[in-house]
């Protein structure tokens, strides 16, 4: 079985990786995974009690400051105030050792006590990992403190551990703040639901207990527990946590509502259409919690480098020491400059800030109603060259309206054509049929002789006369429904798919960003061309079968372009899978397209694609800011330290400073907010 626990107190991603590696070696543990950013520990075992005992013991040895939370009970807890007390006591004792005129023996006692109080956790981690063959930043700092002491730089040695410990404390505070911000994104789950039983009595239940068809009552201030249809009520809903839209959504009888939406006024009676596990809010939370499982390429490279980073730093430190010794002929000077190399080279700025920036970007996108399944797709979205769209339901509403009725026989009026067409179409589920029936104001009679011809239309008898409504002329170039009376054409109803108001703005902004726009549709050429001209789409292809859409995506990719495909139907699934990033519509999209896609637009608004691209570019920019700035600072202080222009204190301050900057800069990925006017 697999269980998830909270693990707090891990000071860096490398610490988490090392602990994870050692946990996997335990015989009682089948699988172990630690997510440093979210402080999650996943364990698979056969016997929980035995496995947890081994996990706690091993964790206490390798990461004594870590806290694993079991069933709301904290174990292996190290009090923050105790650690702060030790740090301040060590600082005070160290200052007194240098200020007071004491005997040599007392000086060394005070010095050693000061160094132990401030860095006992660092030394302990370094020792336990070293005996397991693992070298990380704890060992680098420990080696620097010992080395500085051996060459007579006692004060610098103490300041190394003091500043490193203070830096770690500040890092933990910054990370804790970021984790709380990110965790707030998942606090959209409804805690309860009010169910109406057969006796119309209200019963409070857990959302997971609700079944399809159950009737729910939701009052002002409460969250909708599952997706459903409004049976009664006329209220405003706050859907910002689901769709990113700040304006309240007005709903009334017959409207669909998503779980997680908050009722602002009035009372709603809702009929459940999905169980909680399949409802919108559960899918959103699941995507947020698992989005970082597949890492971005940049993040993966950093992780791979970090694996051998510390050993490489030690080797380079010895090279610096050897070169300086050869030039200066001074052993202590050479060793001191080699130690500066160790201090500056700590990988924390890279190891923490890069995954934190990506996860913050994912959180920001989720808050905007853009659900990105894996962090690597942030990188892909940031370099999109072509966006290919399905037409119906993506750029258009999928709802048709009548634009013209042409009467072919003078014995009939426009009203007659619409009524006769509606008589037959009332038995069809085709979108065109529904549009015609909804336009008819007269009450429709029920017919006895009705025959639906797949892909063609409906044959029926009315008042002893044979009629056919549908399409006999398959060469028609427009979206038209024909009406025949005894095989004679008596009328034509022309319809048009309604273009979403935001689609024009979306295409315009994509073109402005330098992204090529393409439309791939199974509709006829005239309709597709008309929509393409209306939206100013650069290329449009019509009469495409699913496999032909798939082939077209392949052709675009073969040019070297990075392609996104946007669709909502079952027939879009192959293209969504083939594209570099597949984007599906969350409200009306089929379950197949949702599973095949990499990004889900929660409210079916194509304008969210612009937000997704901008958030991705913003996040990637922050990642590279952190990498480049950290690298420049480290190279600068490595060079000046090796040449003797800067000392160890400057090196430590620079290392701590750049790490804190990178962490705080990463949190900016949570803040970007694109205000695009949408309808």
* 276-315 CB burial, b ≥16 within 10 A, e <16: beebbbbbbbebbbebbeebbebbeebbeebeebbeebbe
Tell me what pLDDT residue 287 has.
Answer: 57
What's the rounded mean pLDDT across residues 367-378?
81
Bridge partners (DSSP) listed for residue 573: none
What's the rounded mean pLDDT across residues 539-554?
87
SS3 label, residue 375: coil
Q: Which sequence spans correspond to the domains of the chain?
A: 2-78, 193-222+226-278, 370-396+500-614, 397-499
Q: How far is CA 398 from CA 266, 533, 578, in A?
A: 31, 18, 24
Contact 630, 349 (CB under 8 A): yes
Sign of CA dihedral 361, 365, 367, 371: negative
Residue 304 pLDDT greater than 70, yes or no: no
Q: What's the chain's average pLDDT?
A: 82
Catalytic residue, from 390, 572, 598, 611: name it.
390
CATH homologous superfamily of 370-396+500-614 equals HAD superfamily/HAD-like (3.40.50.1000)
In this predicted model, which residue has the larger pLDDT, 74 or 85? 85
The string of pLDDT tens digits covering residues 104-147 is 999 999 999 999 999 888 888 888 878 877 777 778 788 888 88
Tell me what pLDDT residue 216 has.
Answer: 93
* Lowest mean per-residue pLDDT among 253-257, 328-332, 531-535, 600-604: 600-604
| Residue 438: exposure state from Cβ atoms within 10 A (0-12, 13-18, ≥19) | middle
Q: How confident is the model at residue 372 (pLDDT cuts 50, 70, 90)?
A: confident
Q: How confident is the model at residue 675 (pLDDT cuts 50, 70, 90)?
A: very low
* Lowest mean per-residue pLDDT among 35-39, 204-208, 642-646: 35-39
Please name which of 20, 112, 24, 100 lies closest in space to residue 68, comparing C-alpha atoms: 20
Tell me what pLDDT residue 177 has.
Answer: 64
Residue 679 pLDDT greater than 50, yes or no: no
Percent of all residues in the chain with a pLDDT value above 70, rounded to a whole number = 85
Q: How confident is the model at residue 677 (pLDDT cuts 50, 70, 90)?
A: very low
Q: How confident is the model at residue 636 (pLDDT cuts 50, 70, 90)?
A: confident
Kindly indicate whether the domain formed by 2-78 is annotated with CATH number 2.102.10.10: no
User: Quick one: CATH architecture of 193-222+226-278?
Assistant: Distorted Sandwich (2.70)
Percent of all residues in the chain with a pLDDT value above 90, rounded to a whole number = 22
Tell me what pLDDT residue 297 has.
Answer: 60
In this predicted model, which residue has the larger pLDDT, 78 or 340? 340
What's the rounded mean pLDDT across residues 557-562?
92
Tell me what pLDDT residue 500 has.
Answer: 85
Tell me what pLDDT residue 605 has.
Answer: 84
Is 390 assigned a catalytic role?
yes
What's the rounded mean pLDDT across residues 377-402?
86
Fold held by 397-499: Calcium-transporting ATPase, cytoplasmic domain N (3.40.1110)
Q: How confident is the model at residue 387 (pLDDT cuts 50, 70, 90)?
A: very high
> Which residue, chain included where needed, has tokens 């839209």?
245
The H-or-E segment that residue 232 falls in is strand 228-232
Sign of CA dihedral 611, 613, 614, 620: positive
In this predicted model, which residue has the larger pLDDT, 47 or 676? 47
The string of pLDDT tens digits covering residues 79-94 is 567 778 888 999 899 8
The string of pLDDT tens digits covering residues 420-438 is 999 999 887 777 888 899 8
The string of pLDDT tens digits covering residues 262-300 is 898 889 999 999 888 877 777 666 655 555 555 556 655
What's the rounded mean pLDDT across residues 452-466?
84
Sheet holding 235-238, edge to edge: 249-251, 235-238, 262-263
Give the whole-angstrom CA distance, residue 537 versus residue 394: 14
Give the pairing type, strands 228-232 and 256-257. Answer: antiparallel
């Amino acid at each position: 079985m697999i269980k998830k626990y909270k693990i707090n107190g891990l000071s860096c991603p490398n610490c988490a990786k090392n602990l994870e590696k050692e946990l996997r070696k335990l015989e009682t543990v089948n699988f172990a995974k630690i997510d440093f950013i979210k402080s999650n520990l996943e364990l698979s075992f056969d016997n929980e009690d035995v496995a947890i005992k081994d996990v706690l013991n091993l964790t206490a040895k390798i990461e004594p400051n870590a806290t694993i939370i079991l069933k709301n009970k904290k174990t292996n807890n190290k009090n923050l105030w105790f650690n702060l007390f030790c740090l301040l006591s060590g600082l005070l004792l160290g200052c007194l050792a240098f200020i007071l005129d004491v005997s040599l023996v007392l000086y060394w006692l005070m010095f050693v006590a000061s160094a132990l109080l401030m860095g006992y956790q660092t030394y302990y981690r370094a020792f336990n990992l070293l005996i397991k063959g693992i070298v990380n930043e704890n060992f680098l700092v420990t080696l620097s403190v010992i080395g500085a002491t051996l060459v007579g730089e006692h004060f610098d040695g103490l300041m190394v551990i003091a500043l490193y410990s203070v830096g770690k404390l500040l890092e933990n505070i910054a990370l804790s703040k970021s984790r709380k911000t990110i965790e707030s994104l998942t606090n959209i789950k409804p805690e309860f639901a009010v169910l109406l039983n057969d006796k119309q009595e209200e019963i409070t239940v857990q959302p997971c207990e609700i079944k399809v068809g159950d009737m729910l009552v939701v009052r002002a201030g409460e969250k909708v527990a599952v997706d459903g249809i409004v049976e009664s009520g006329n209220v405003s809903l706050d859907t910002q946590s689901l769709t990113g839209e700040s304006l309240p959504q007005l709903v009334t009888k017959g409207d669909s509502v998503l779980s997680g939406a908050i009722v602002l006024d009035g009372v709603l009676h809702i009929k459940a259409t999905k169980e909680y596990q399949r409802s919108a809010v559960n899918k959103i939370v699941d995507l947020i919690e698992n989005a970082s499982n597949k890492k971005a390429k940049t993040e993966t490279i950093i992780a791979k480098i970090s694996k051998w980073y510390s050993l490489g730093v030690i080797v380079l430190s010895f090279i610096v020491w050897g070169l300086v010794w050869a030039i200066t002929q001074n052993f202590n000077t050479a060793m001191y400059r080699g130690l500066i190399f160790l201090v500056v080279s700590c990988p924390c700025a890279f190891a923490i800030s890069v995954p934190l920036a990506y996860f913050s970007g994912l959180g920001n996108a989720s808050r905007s109603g853009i659900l990105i399944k894996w962090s690597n797709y942030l990188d892909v979205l940031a370099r999109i060259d072509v966006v290919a769209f399905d037409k119906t339901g993506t750029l258009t509403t999928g709802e048709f309206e009548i634009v013209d009725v042409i009467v072919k026989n003078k014995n009939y009026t426009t009203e007659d054509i619409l009524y006769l067409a509606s008589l037959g179409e009332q038995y069809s589920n085709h979108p065109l049929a529904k549009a015609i029936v909804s336009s008819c104001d007269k009450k429709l009679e029920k017919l006895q002789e009705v025959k639906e011809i797949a892909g063609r239309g409906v044959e029926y008898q009315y008042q002893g006369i044979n009629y056919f409504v549908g399409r006999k002329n398959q060469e028609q170039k427009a979206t038209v429904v024909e009406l025949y009376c005894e095989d004679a054409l008596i009328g034509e109803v022309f319809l048009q798919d309604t273009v979403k108001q935001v689609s024009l703005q979306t295409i315009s902004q994509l073109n402005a960003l330098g992204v090529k726009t393409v439309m791939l549709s199974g509709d006829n050429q005239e309709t597709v061309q008309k929509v393409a001209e209306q939206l100013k789409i650069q290329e449009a292809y019509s009469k495409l079968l699913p496999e032909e859409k798939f082939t077209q995506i392949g052709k675009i990719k073969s040019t070297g372009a990075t392609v996104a495909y946007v669709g909502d139907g079952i027939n879009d699934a192959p293209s969504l899978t083939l594209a570099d990033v597949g984007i599906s519509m969350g409200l009306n999209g089929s379950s197949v397209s949702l599973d095949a896609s990499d990004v889900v637009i929660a409210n079916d608004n194509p304008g969210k694609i612009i937000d997704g691209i901008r958030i991705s570019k913003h996040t990637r920019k922050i990642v590279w800011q952190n990498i480049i700035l950290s690298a420049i600072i480290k190279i600068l202080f490595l060079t000046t330290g090796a040449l003797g222009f800067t000392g160890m204190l400057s090196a430590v301050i620079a290392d701590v400073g750049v790490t804190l900057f990178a962490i705080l800069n990463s949190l900016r990925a949570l803040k970007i907010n694109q205000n695009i006017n949408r309808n």
